[in-house]
Structure 1
Amino acid sequence: MPISPNQGSTGGGTPVTITGTNLSDTSAVTFGSKPATSVTNVSPTEVTAVSPSGTGTVGVTVTTPGGTSNPLSFFYVGAPFKSSLGTTSGPLAGGNTITINGTGLSTATSVSFGGVTATPTVNSDSSLSVAVPAGAAAGPVAVSVTTAGGTNNGLSYTYVDIPDIGTISPTSGPASGGTAVTITGTNLDSTDSVTFGGTAAPFSVINATTLSAVTPPGTAGPVDVVVTNPAGSDTEVGAFTYVAGPGI
């Protein structure tokens, strides 16, 4: 006489189906010493019930006018605890795989990003991997994990849109570097690198539309300026020109 599923939340409320024979006129289903919160006799071979609260492993029995069945094992599982996201931001288009760390994750069936669900790959009881679904808009969303033990919330993931460079000022400076440059545009608040001619420049994020950078040394002539964030990069071709110093 199998039971499906054979595990559920310690808080109870898990619907289970018990199949077997001679189940007509079932009067009770018991989980350990506790009666099920709801019992439905579907047919002579099937009974459905809702588990009460409990802990550990308990025996589930069915009682009919003919007696009480042998017990079936049912495992109570605690709600998951999530301690961290391996990556806390990514592209609005989704598709990147992140790791979620915590405990009680071995029975995870879904991960929700702002209400959009994805199916995870369980690595262990303390780790799972999931491909992030596409987001509706740039910004933070709540992340929740659902397991046989329930759903746990409390983590946040930020969707990031690709940066877009608008203007660069000034557009030229000495090849020795050191020119303070202001870059304006959109989606700049999650910038993680700025390069001039492929060389990384020190920068500061002012706000979502403004960056401040200092040019590194370069070779005389125009170079590309590239702004990158977790969603991707935007390139302004030949947007800054290095000017050679005078020679005597």
Structure 2
Amino acid sequence: MPISPNQGSTGGGTLVTVTGTNLSDTTGVMFGSKPATGLTQVSATEVTAISPSGTGAVGVTVTTPGGTSNPVSFFYVGAPFKSSLSATSGPLAGGNTITLNGTGLSTATSVSFGGTTAVPTVLSDSSISVVVPVGTVAGPVPVTVTTAGGVNNGLTYTYVDAPTIGTPAPASGPTSGGTAVTIPGTNLDTTDSVTFGGTPAPFAVINSTTLSAVTPPGTAGAVDVVVTNPAGSATAPAAFTYVAAPGI
């Protein structure tokens, strides 16, 4: 007499299908010492019922006018707990794979990012990986995991748009570096790096449309300015010119 699924939440509420023989006129389904609710007679070989609350492993039995069946094991599973995400932000287009860590994840069937679901790959009871789905708008969304034990949330993932940048000001400075430069643009509040001619520059986020950076040392001539965030990079070609110091 198999049952499906054979595991569910400790809080109860799992719809279980019991298949077997001589199940006509079923009068009750028991999960250990507790009766199930929502009993439905589907056919002479199938009944469905909703599990009560419980813990651990219990025997499920079916009672008809002919007697009580042999018990079949049902396993109660606690709700999952999530402790961390390997990455807490990424592109609005999705497609990046992240790892979710916690406990009780071995029965994970779906991960929701703000209501958009994805099917995870179970790595262990403490770890699953998932390909982030496409987001609807940039910004934070709750991350929800569904397992046989129930649903849990509490973590946040932020969808990020790729940056755009305009012309830095001032647009030139000495090859020795040290020039304070303001970079205008959009989606700059999640900036990871700023480079001048490929050399990283210290920077500060003023707001989503403004960065402040200090030029590193460079060689005379025009160089590209590149701003990068988790969604991608924006390049202002030849936007800053290094000027050599005079010599006499």
* Fold equivalence (TM over 0.5): yes
Q: What's the counterpart of residue 232 of structure 2? A: 232
Alignment of 1:71-86 (within 5 A): 71-86=71-86
Q: What's the counterpart of residue 64 of structure 1? A: 64
The answer for unaligned runs of 5 or more in structure 2 is: none
Q: What's the counterpart of residue 206 of structure 2? A: 206
Is the 2:30–2:61 contact (alpha carbons within 8 Å) kept by the matching residues of 1?
yes
Partner AA of 2:129 in structure 1: S
Q: What's the counterpart of residue 186 of structure 1? A: 186
Q: What's the counterpart of residue 49 of structure 2? A: 49
- Regions of 4+ moved over 4 Å: none
Counterpart secondary structure, 2:237: strand
Shift of 1:90: 0.3
How far, CA to CA, are the matches of 2:228 and 2:29 in structure 1? 60
Shift of 1:178: 0.5
Shift of 1:37: 1.5
Q: What's the counterpart of residue 104 of structure 1? A: 104
Q: What's the counterpart of residue 12 of structure 2? A: 12
Counterpart secondary structure, 1:169: coil
Shift of 1:166: 2.0
How far, CA to CA, are the matches of 1:169 and 1:37 in structure 2? 71
For 1:168-202, what per-residue CA distance to the aligned partner results, in whole angstroms no more than 9, with x for missing partners? 10000001100000001100000010000000000
Q: What's the counterpart of residue 161 of structure 2? A: 161
For 1:100-149, what per-residue CA distance to the aligned partner results, in whole angstroms no more than 9, with x for missing partners? 00000000000000000000000000000000001001100000000000
Q: What's the counterpart of residue 33 of structure 2? A: 33
Q: What's the counterpart of residue 118 of structure 2? A: 118
How far, CA to CA, are the matches of 1:186 and 1:55 in structure 2? 52
Is the 2:35–2:52 contact (alpha carbons within 8 Å) kept by the matching residues of 1?
yes
For 1:11-35, what per-residue CA distance to the aligned partner results, in whole angstroms no more than 9, with x for missing partners? 0000010001000000000000000
How far, CA to CA, are the matches of 1:90 and 1:185 in structure 2? 19
Q: What's the counterpart of residue 88 of structure 2? A: 88
Q: TM-score, length-normalised on structure 2?
A: 0.99
The answer for unaligned runs of 5 or more in structure 1 is: none
Shift of 1:247: 1.1
Shift of 1:38: 1.4
Aligned length: 248
How far, CA to CA, are the matches of 1:42 and 1:197 in structure 2? 71
For 1:216-246, what per-residue CA distance to the aligned partner results, in whole angstroms no more than 9, with x for missing partners? 0001000000000000000011000000000
How far, CA to CA, are the matches of 1:208 and 1:139 in structure 2? 12
Is the 2:167–2:236 contact (alpha carbons within 8 Å) kept by the matching residues of 1?
no
Partner AA of 1:46 in structure 2: E
Partner AA of 1:95 in structure 2: G
Q: TM-score, length-normalised on structure 1?
A: 0.99
Q: What's the counterpart of residue 174 of structure 1? A: 174
How far, CA to CA, are the matches of 1:173 and 1:30 in structure 2? 80
Shift of 1:167: 2.8
Is the 2:193–2:200 contact (alpha carbons within 8 Å) kept by the matching residues of 1?
yes
How far, CA to CA, are the matches of 1:160 and 1:204 in structure 2? 18
How far, CA to CA, are the matches of 2:88 and 2:75 in structure 1? 33
